[in-house]
Amino acid sequence: MKGVEGAVMDSPIRWAGSKRALLPRLRAAMPTDYSRYIEPFAGSACLFFEASPRSAILGDFNGELIRAFQHLQIDVEAVIREIRRWDEDGGDYYDVRALQPNIGSSAEAARFLYLNRFGFNGVYRTNRLGHYNVPRGARTGKLPSGDDWRRVSRGLSTAKLRHQDFKRTIALSRAGDFLYVDPPYVTTARSTYGEYGYGSFESSKMQQLRASLQRADSRGVKIMLSFGSIEGFEDLLEAWTVVEIETTRKIAAKLESRSRVGTEILAVNYSARSLI
């Protein structure tokens, strides 16, 4: 299924590890025809918003993220009313961070979106009690306008939103669907310290992900995988097309570490228009 022409929009979410800078390459590598767009690690969902598919499933382990998307989808005006209570330049960041709104409320969605906009580099990090503890960032820009939020709401209207483990989302895929998989890059040598929320994705889950993708591959699902390296996926990707791409990561707070040029892999199990 091709994307809806003229409906391309930017994701409102800033997310650590987002592939926003790689969107032209990802878009060109997508299959020209597919039934449903499925993303088990939604994050910013920037490729979903770029492709604007007519039918999609967006899943993520982060409940606050998915609930924010759900409120934007079904009651965007309530979210707009809540978020307009706070300074549009981020001046209320720490006051908003200290709030504990009811789970599932429009206030919770607005708080998440506000903190996401003005937090450091789009990082979502919690302590072991589940409390968001990211400091305020710089050069984040203003909040999206009311019309921007409404465009996002219309974009999300084609998606089923699922707060669930990646295995359950991948299991929903059928022959002819397009599955975009962009898991957090974690290894046994790298601790996430609550990045993406405690328990969201750990190195021990890599084997589960590989098995889920093998089953989807055998069902005839069209899969695109982006990841930090081929490590852990060697057997799965043996018959796939794999290219190495250059990326720039911006996470660390120390000045000398804020921008790091590295490489990632992009792999597909179908004949892509372009992977160059």
> 3-state secondary structure string, the chain?
CCCCCCCCCCCCCCCCCCCHHHHHHHHHHCCCCCCCEEECCCCCCHHHHHHCCCCEEEEECCHHHHHHHHHHHHCHHHHHHHHCCCCCCCCCHHHHHCCCCCCCCHHHHHHHHHHHHHEHHHCCEECCCCCECCCECCCCCCCCCHHHHHHHHHHHCCEEEEECCHHHHHHCCCCCCEEEECCCCCCCCCCCCCECCCCCCCHHHHHHHHHHHHHHHHCCCEEEEEECCCCCCCCHHHHCEEEEEEEEECCCCCHHHCCEEEEEEEEECCCCCCCC
Assigned domain for 189 exists: yes
| pLDDT value at residue 1 | 44
Residue with tokens 């968001």: 132
Assigned domain for 7 exists: no
Assigned domain for 3 exists: no
| pLDDT value at residue 200 | 55
Sort residue 45 into left (φ over 0), alpha (ψ -120 to 50) or beta.
left
Assigned domain for 276 exists: no
What value does the mean pLDDT take over residues 159-178?
Answer: 98
Lowest mean pLDDT among 148-152, 178-182, 224-228: 224-228
Number of domains in the chain: 1
Residue 97: both structure tokens together = 């961070």
Lowest mean pLDDT among 4-13, 54-63, 163-172, 195-204: 195-204
Assigned domain for 260 exists: yes
What value does the mean pLDDT take over residues 148-177?
Answer: 98
What value does the mean pLDDT take over residues 213-233?
Answer: 94
Range of the domain at 253: 20-268
Assigned domain for 70 exists: yes
Contact criterion met (CB below 8 Å) for 64 and 101: no
| pLDDT value at residue 249 | 60
Q: Is 19 annotated as a binding residue?
A: yes
Assigned domain for 2 exists: no
Task: State pLDDT tens for residues 76-120.
Answer: 999 999 999 999 999 999 999 999 999 999 999 999 999 999 999
Q: Is 86 annotated as a binding residue?
A: no
For residues 19 and 169, the model is more confident at: 169
Asked if residue 176 has pLDDT above 70, the reply is yes
pLDDT-based confidence at residue 273 (cuts at 50, 70, 90): confident
Assigned domain for 15 exists: no
Q: Distance between CA atoms of 151 and 71, rounded to whole angstroms?
A: 13
| pLDDT value at residue 127 | 87
Q: Is 87 annotated as a binding residue?
A: no
- The CATH number that applies at residue 73 is 3.40.50.150
| Residues recorded for the chain | 276
Asked if residue 193 has pLDDT above 90, the reply is no
Q: Is 15 annotated as a binding residue?
A: yes
Task: State pLDDT tens for residues 2-57.
Answer: 444 445 678 999 998 888 889 999 999 999 999 999 999 999 999 999 999 999 99
Task: State pLDDT tens for residues 232-269.
Answer: 888 899 999 999 988 766 555 554 445 566 789 999 99
